[in-house]
Structure 1
Amino acid sequence: MKKYVNIFGFILVIGFLVLAFYKVKLTDVIDGLKIFNPVYIFPIIALTVLYFVIRAYRWGLIFRPNPVPSFKSLFSGIMIGVMVNNLVPAKIGEVSRAFILGRKENTGISLTFGTIIVERIFDFLALFFCFFAVFVFSPTEREFLNNASMLWKTAFFITLSGFIILIVLIVAFKLKTNMFVNVVERIIGYFSKSFASKVDNIFNSFAAGLKCLDSFNNSCKIFATSVIQWALMGFTTWIALISFNIYISIFSASFLMVLVVLGCALPPSPGGIGPTQFISVLVLNYYGVNGGEAMGFSIVQNFLTFAVGTILGIYFLFKESMKFSEIIKFSEEKR
């Protein structure tokens, strides 16, 4: 199975890169890269590290009211997980974080998995919030939707529907956990008891993670930090665009960021390579940016984000005296 996932991930990356480079000349990309102002490297890196710091802080909030691991453990877990995601397909870096915290803090695997699931849900909720906030405050993006093809409009309304359905399901699960689990388990168990058992474990982990919502104050903090971290990434994208003399509004930069992040949520694509380039070129073309400059921007920003996550992850991997093979083995077993 691992072999096929890796092959699919490779095909996905190549496919998106082919689509991204379609009608974009290599000479234009080289010219676009020459525009980059290296003065902006430090602020982009600093803002990216700050984003990871906020992520680690938020992860601690999600552990409440259970014992919260130290910030050092949370941050190292985040960075090693990002490094694994950058180097290995299928997003197994998320699973590896359970191994890291279990090793360092003796945190229960089930609880840690639950917090990671809840973290991902808050990520999507915050991204959807940012997505719709852009449409409320920026007429340019509203015009984008009005002039968009039926495919884009369909994607927009699917996103809106997904946002609403996700909130309803979370509330229903929180209020009627046992009933929800029993119904789903019976339906799935009719087809496969072994798979039903796995689903039961996932739901139990999710229920453990949802305890963070018992406190309204804590729930608000989690959502606020989620919005802040993605707003920060929108700002970072805006700065990266300026480094290429691409001047669009911060709302437009945030719109681009949201679409790139959602596109990179495709599991088999390591480091977001492929989808990042394709979506960046597609969206920036709408704002009047030529393909070479758009591609140059996407390559540099993708590289800097990739480098920060990978280098910090490798640093903490050695600092914690962990083996990469150990983490991968655990992650493959628990997937």
Structure 2
Amino acid sequence: MNFVRIKYKKIISKALQIVFPIVLGGIILVYMYQGFNFDRVWEVLKDDMNYWWMFLSLVFGVLSHVFRGMRWKLTLAPLNEYPRTSNCVNSIFISYAANLVIPRVGEISRCGVLAKYDNVSFAKSLGTVVTERLIDTLCVVIITAVAVLMQTNIFLTFFTKTGTKSDVIESILSSSNFYITLACIVAIFVLFYFLVKNVAMFAKIKGIISNIWLGIISLKDVKNINLFILYTVAIWASYFFQFYLSFFSFDFSSNLSIMAGLVMFAVGSIAVVVPTPNGAGPWHFAVITMMVLYGVGKEDSGIFALLVHGIQTFLLILLGIYGLVALPLTNKNKKL
């Protein structure tokens, strides 16, 4: 009887991890696009979008993954793990596509790819991923701090609009935007709980806590720390230009400044932490709200968020498929 209960608890837990992100993202999207004229989206796609700028932005999207794969290889070297660069990059492609199905499962899947094709210790590589996420969090904090300092008034207005500024407490209960913000915060804590629980359980079962810790602290033994910093800057610069160059794909956003791009990029980077497929919903909410503050019409802002996010998501799917096809082909002469 206890076995059956435990089994059902695991099933419910897994179902929640899959269903909850989709439902949350869907609810936010429905709220943001209620009464929206979707016919205009097709008009923009057919007649008004500059595909060359969009293509250029996607080039930076691909580069960000390539640099991330190269940086990952660098952090594995101190652990005496030397995977092929192509395997590292293809595993990154697959991981981001996997995250579209179950948020954050990609971190596990890419470690499994290297374990399969390069016999890299799963536990050690998982530790390096933890370190990588800590570095990414630090980068987001730095980018956000710079954006806040440079565009303080815009951020204060954003906090007011979302019902999170301290002096608008009286209007919180009547602010639907506040509830979206609150739901996103709760979702982040739920994600963190499941991540800690799953990693702790996995580590306990496999007895690999010490190896995970070796992976986490591997950064201190990286031989070329300057190259690591260069890759990190390249990753986040690529992320930014992927977003910023998409402004020039549309007439209504082409006049936005690079500082506006930095602010929206910072807020969007925070929004994608919320566990929905590729940040769908929270990202739209953050970007649309910010674009409106910079003078772009709400409908145009909605079109921008919908198309940019949709095209970038499609790119992740294509890269994931490419990675799945390329891995067995580039490793066909290796004994697995």
Tell me if TM exceeds 0.5.
yes
- 2:30 aligned residue: 18
- 2:317 aligned residue: 310
Deviation at 1:274, TM superposition (A): 1.7
- 1:262 aligned residue: 270
Query: Superposed, which structure 2 residues align to 1:127-276 within 5 Å?
Result: 127-136=140-149, 138=150, 141-149=151-159, 151-152=163-164, 197=204, 201=208, 204-215=211-222, 218=225, 220-245=226-251, 246=253, 247-267=255-275, 269-276=276-283
Q: Is the 2:59–2:242 Cα contact (8 Å) retained in structure 1?
A: no
Tell which has more relative contact order, 1 or 2 (C-alpha 8 A, sep 6+).
1
Deviation at 1:95, TM superposition (A): 0.6
- 1:108 aligned residue: 121
Distance 1:116 1:153, change over 3 A: farther
Task: Give the distance between the partners of 1:202 and 1:36, measured in 2 at CA.
Answer: 50
The letter for the 2-side match of 1:12 is L
User: Which string of whole-angstrom CA distances, capped at 9 and with x for unpartnered residues, describes residues 161-211 of structure 1?
Assistant: xxxxxxxxxxxxxxxxxxxxxxxxxxx9xxxx9699479855751442322
Distance 1:266 1:145, change over 3 A: closer
User: Which string of whole-angstrom CA distances, capped at 9 and with x for unpartnered residues, describes residues 255-291 of structure 1?
Assistant: 2122222211223x11222222221111111111112
User: Which string of whole-angstrom CA distances, capped at 9 and with x for unpartnered residues, describes residues 73-98 of structure 1?
Assistant: 10011001111112x12321111011
Distance 1:204 1:103, change over 3 A: closer
Q: Is the 1:281–1:291 Cα contact (8 Å) retained in structure 2?
A: yes
Higher alpha-carbon deviation: 48-57 or 252-261? 252-261
Task: Give the distance between the partners of 1:69 and 1:292, measured in 2 at CA.
Answer: 47
Count of aligned positions: 279
Q: CA RMSD in A?
A: 2.8
Deviation at 1:239, TM superposition (A): 1.0
Higher alpha-carbon deviation: 32-41 or 239-248? 32-41
Structure 2 stretches lacking a partner, 5+ long: 1-12, 167-195, 330-336
Matched, 1:6 2:18: yes
Distance 1:216 1:109, change over 3 A: closer
TM-score normalised by the chain length of structure 2: 0.74
Distance 1:59 1:36, change over 3 A: same
Q: Is the 2:203–2:209 Cα contact (8 Å) retained in structure 1?
A: no
Deviation at 1:52, TM superposition (A): 1.1
Distance 1:263 1:194, change over 3 A: closer
- 2:285 aligned residue: 278
Distance 1:71 1:25, change over 3 A: same
Higher alpha-carbon deviation: 110-119 or 51-60? 51-60
Matched, 1:75 2:100: no
Deviation at 1:149, TM superposition (A): 3.5
Distance 1:15 1:208, change over 3 A: same
Deviation at 1:36, TM superposition (A): 2.0
- 1:59 aligned residue: 72
- 1:179 aligned residue: none
Structure 1 stretches lacking a partner, 5+ long: 155-187, 323-335
Q: Is the 1:81–1:96 Cα contact (8 Å) retained in structure 2?
A: yes
